[in-house]
Amino acid sequence: MKFGKWLAAAAGVLALAACGQQAGNDQGAAQQGGGAGAAGGEVNLYTARHYDSDLALYDRFTQLTGIRINRIEGNADQLIARMTSEGERSPADVFITADAGALWRAQQAGLFQPVQSQVLGEAVPENLREPQGHWYGFSRRARIVAYDPEKVRPEEIDTYEKLAGERFRGKLCVRSADSVYNLSLVGALIEAWGPERAGQWAQGIVANMARAPEGGDRDQIRAVGAGVCEVALTNSYYYIRMANGEDANDRQVTSRVLLAFPSLDGQGAHVNISGGGVARHAPNRDNAQRLLEFFASAEVQQHIARNNNEFPASPGVQAPPPVDAFANFQAHPMPVARFAARQPEAQSLMSRAGWR
Ligand code: FE
């Protein structure tokens, strides 16, 4: 969920999107590339991540490499549109965003070039990257279930199938079908089950909705807390962030609402990524690859996990608190590139099911 906040900047209009959970995060320092480079040159990062905590990462990269990072921020669709209209004159070197579905959209738009690197190959598990190297995952998130333990027993929500069953008629909260998170989940179900069965699942979900889809994932969790629904679909980091954040109401909600990791065909919970790739027309291609390798490093994986409450991508990277308390779930091994490519199918299937 992103709220576009547009600010005019000197050299043109830079898209600065503030994430809902980060107030006062305008980061007015976002710069356009093209200035004089430092000793190590520069790299132009187009990113849909916008966390104050990332500023320390960028400084660290410059410290390690001498390469200065120029940042353009926006949500994924804004940045994809921008890079598309810039065409081969785009200054973009690296594009970073959340969700394999969004990375796939950028790939479909021809915005990435393949990168093969030993560092990336070793740091990022095969199922969490695009097979040709167009993009790589640096952190993982699971799309799972928040539930009211006073009304729901864990065994009633231990599979995705059960969420669509009659037990939860009128008892489920979920955001709209245009959420890339939902598209990716349904894409994964199509990949696992085929379109017919996935379509039936979507129909079951629509039948189970306690209300028409509204709000983001945190609103679904809050709705469980408020008794509007018994179960809700959410990405893992929203719950973990609410449970450990500064908002007393959200902490109260998550003390009464629990998180469950349903399994897909007994192989684990649906897992997605945040990640990025090197831009097709990157003017600083080598620096771009170094920046990607930096993002894939254990240090950065831990940083993202700590600050954004995601899980590290690499099995060898220890999950930091507070996500370590949730990190030992079984993750479905499905390659993220497979379900990412099923977005158009997922969208039409959800529309036909009446999922708004
Ligand atoms: Fe999100």
CA of 222 to the centre of ligand 1 (A): 16
CA of 60 to the centre of ligand 1 (A): 25
Q: Does pLDDT of 3 surpass 90? A: no
For residue 211, the 8-state DSSP code is S
For residue 154, the 8-state DSSP code is G
CA of 270 to the centre of ligand 1 (A): 15
For residue 86, what pLDDT band results from cuts at 50, 70 and 90?
very high
The reply to whether 3-140+271-326 and 142-269+340-352 are identical in fold is yes
Fold entry, domain 142-269+340-352? D-Maltodextrin-Binding Protein; domain 2 (3.40.190)
pLDDT above 90 covers what percent of the chain? Answer: 87
Which helix (H) or strand (E) element contains residue 54?
helix 53-65
CA of 66 to the centre of ligand 1 (A): 31
Which helix (H) or strand (E) element contains residue 12?
strand 12-19
Reference 198, options 190, 187, 207; nearest CA is: 190
CA of 99 to the centre of ligand 1 (A): 8
Q: Does pLDDT of 9 surpass 80? A: no
CA of 77 to the centre of ligand 1 (A): 14
Give the SS3 label for residue 103: helix
Please give the pLDDT value at position 49. 86
The runs of H, that is alpha helices, within 109-194 are: 118-123, 160-163, 180-193
Please give the pLDDT value at position 259. 98
Please give the pLDDT value at position 31. 40
CA of 333 to the centre of ligand 1 (A): 21
Neighbour-count burial of 322, counting CB atoms closer than 10 A to its CB (0-12 exposed, 13-18 middle, 19+ buried): middle
Provide CB contacts within 8 A for 105, sequence distance 6+.
Answer: 76, 77, 80, 343
CA of 165 to the centre of ligand 1 (A): 26
CA 311, CA 343: separation in Å to the nearest integer?
A: 23
CA of 277 to the centre of ligand 1 (A): 19
CA of 37 to the centre of ligand 1 (A): 33
- Please give the average per-residue pLDDT across 73-84, as a whole number: 97
CA of 41 to the centre of ligand 1 (A): 32
CA of 72 to the centre of ligand 1 (A): 19
Which helix (H) or strand (E) element contains residue 277?
strand 271-279
The identity of residue 307, as a single letter, is N
CA of 315 to the centre of ligand 1 (A): 22
CA of 39 to the centre of ligand 1 (A): 36
Q: Residue 331 in contact with residue 177, Cβ under 8 Å?
A: no
Please state, in angstroms and as integers, the Cα–Cα distance from residue 32 to each residue in 10, 73, 108, 306, 310, following that order. 9, 10, 25, 28, 29
Range 157-167 burial, b when 16+ CB lie within 10 A, else e: beebbbbbeee
CA of 175 to the centre of ligand 1 (A): 12
pLDDT digits (tens, 9 = 90+) for 46-65: 999 877 888 999 999 999 99
CA 308, CA 144: separation in Å to the nearest integer?
A: 17
Fold entry, domain 3-140+271-326? D-Maltodextrin-Binding Protein; domain 2 (3.40.190)
| pLDDT-wise least confident of 13-17, 316-320, 322-326, 340-344 | 13-17
Q: What is the mean pLDDT of the chain?
A: 90
Q: Residue 300 in contact with residue 160, Cβ under 8 Å?
A: no
- Please give the average per-residue pLDDT across 33-40, as a whole number: 47
The identity of residue 1, as a single letter, is M
pLDDT digits (tens, 9 = 90+) for 129-183: 999 999 999 999 999 999 999 999 999 999 999 999 999 999 999 999 999 999 9
Secondary structure (DSSP) of 105-122: HHHHTT-EE----HHHHH
Place of tokens 């036909």: 352
CA of 85 to the centre of ligand 1 (A): 26
CA of 65 to the centre of ligand 1 (A): 30
CA of 54 to the centre of ligand 1 (A): 16
CA of 1 to the centre of ligand 1 (A): 6
CA of 103 to the centre of ligand 1 (A): 14
For the chain, give every domain's residue range. 3-140+271-326, 142-269+340-352
CA of 49 to the centre of ligand 1 (A): 10
